[in-house]
């Protein structure tokens, strides 16, 4: 209950901030963009991770407000970063699956993006596999509307959910993000190695991109490169960090 009151105040005071984790291209060795991850900058507790409060916001029916606040801050940042670099990196934002029940979502998202003079190409929307399970009939159509405007869509934590592979042809998905629990087992658990290879070849056949999450060691990165994974995210390349630190580390010329 205390937490709920705290969260209501936090929304009013906009105590949420994006951290940015780089996405790295193993072939060109360049940073391709980032994933924005919310942090609650709590007046007493300091930075609170999303795992501790996103589920509560979902229960309260308020997660959409945070997701839209994050999108607005990320777009503000991108507007600035696009002037620093012409590589035109994308930023991925996480949307709670609950949002897709909300009819005006697309209009709202487009309004936010346009208010920052950006186009949907700059944004990738990450949703967890679980979203597809709620399969109300409208969802593939809503995804198609987003795609038609130029957004790309990534399925997060892929391999941990319960979705049937049939969903992959029904929904316009651009990117599969291999969950870090599989990456963590590379060269340890043969079944997981096979699983990763299978996901990668399936994605290639379906013309989807693959991102491996949670890459922490060079042997993991080398193995992933050897099976054709190009885009990686993980502590080996960079932790989630503040906008200031991200800019200093990846967007300065010298």
| Residues making contact with Na ion (CB under 5 A) | 156-157
The bridge status of strand 30-42 relative to strand 46-48 is antiparallel
List 10, 31, 37, 109, residue binding ligand G (CB under 6 A): 37
C-beta closer to Mn ion: residue 6 or 126 = 126
C-beta closer to Mn ion: residue 94 or 163 = 94
CB of 66 to ligand G, least distance (A): 6
Going by C-beta distance under 8 Å and a sequence separation of 6 or more, which residues neighbour residue 207? Answer: none
Nearest of 193, 162, 165, 159 to residue 178 by alpha carbon: 159
Find the binding residues for Mn ion in span 42-71 (CB under 5 A): none
Tally of CB atoms within 10 A around 39: 18
CB of 76 to ligand G, least distance (A): 15
Determine if 156 is a binding residue for Mn ion (CB under 5 A).
yes
C-beta closer to Na ion: residue 15 or 156 = 156
Find the binding residues for ligand G in span 80-119 (CB under 6 A): 94-96
Find the binding residues for ligand G in span 56-75 (CB under 6 A): 63, 67, 70
Which ranges in 48-189 belong to alpha helices (H)?
Answer: 54-60, 63-84, 105-115, 130-133, 139-149, 167-170, 180-183
Query: DSSP assignment, residue 55?
Result: H
Nearest of 56, 39, 57 to residue 48 by alpha carbon: 39
List 10, 32, 38, 221, residue binding ligand G (CB under 6 A): 38
Find the binding residues for ligand G in span 180-199 (CB under 6 A): 180
Find the binding residues for ligand G in span 5-34 (CB under 6 A): 21
> To the nearest 5 percent, what fractions of the chain are helix, strand and coil?
45, 20, 30
Binding mask 126-165 for ligand G (x = CB under 6 A): x-----------------------------xx--------
113 and 83 Cβ atoms separated by less than 8 Å: no
Determine if 179 is a binding residue for Mn ion (CB under 5 A).
no
List 15, 64, 67, 126, residue binding Mn ion (CB under 5 A): 126
Mapped to the 3 state alphabet, what secondary structure does 125-146 carry? Answer: EEEECHHHHCCCCCHHHHHHHH
> Which among Na ion, ligand G, Mn ion, none contacts residue 15 (Cβ within 5 to 8 A by kind)?
none
Nearest of 234, 211, 215 to residue 223 by alpha carbon: 215
Binding site for ligand G (CB under 6 A): 21, 37-38, 49-51, 54, 63, 67, 70, 94-96, 126, 156-157, 180, 213-216, 233-235, 240
């Amino acid at each position: 209950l205390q937490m709920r009151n705290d969260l209501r105040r936090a929304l009013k005071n906009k105590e949420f901030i994006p951290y940015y984790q780089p996405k790295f291209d193993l072939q060109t060795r360049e940073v391709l963009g980032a994933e924005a991850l919310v942090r609650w900058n709590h007046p007493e507790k300091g930075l609170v991770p999303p795992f501790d409060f996103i589920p509560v916001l979902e229960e309260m029916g308020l997660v959409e407000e945070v997701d839209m606040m994050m999108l607005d801050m990320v777009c503000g940042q991108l507007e600035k970063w696009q002037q620093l670099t012409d590589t035109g990196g994308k930023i991925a934002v996480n949307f709670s699956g609950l949002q897709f029940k909300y009819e005006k979502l697309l209009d709202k998202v487009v309004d936010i993006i346009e208010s920052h003079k950006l186009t949907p190409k700059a944004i990738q929307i990450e949703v967890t596999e679980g979203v597809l399970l709620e399969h109300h009939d409208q969802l593939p159509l809503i995804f198609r509307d987003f795609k038609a405007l130029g957004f790309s869509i990534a399925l997060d934590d892929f391999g941990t959910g319960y979705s049937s592979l049939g969903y992959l042809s029904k929904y316009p998905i651009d990117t599969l993000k291999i969950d870090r629990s599989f990456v963590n087992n590379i060269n340890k658990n043969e079944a997981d190695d096979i699983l990763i290879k299978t996901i990668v070849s399936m994605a290639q056949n379906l013309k989807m991109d693959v991102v491996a999450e949670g890459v922490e060691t060079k042997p993991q990165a080398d193995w992933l490169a050897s099976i054709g994974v190009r885009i990686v995210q993980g502590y080996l390349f960079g932790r989630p960090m503040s906008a200031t630190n991200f800019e200093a580390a990846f967007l300065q010329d010298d």
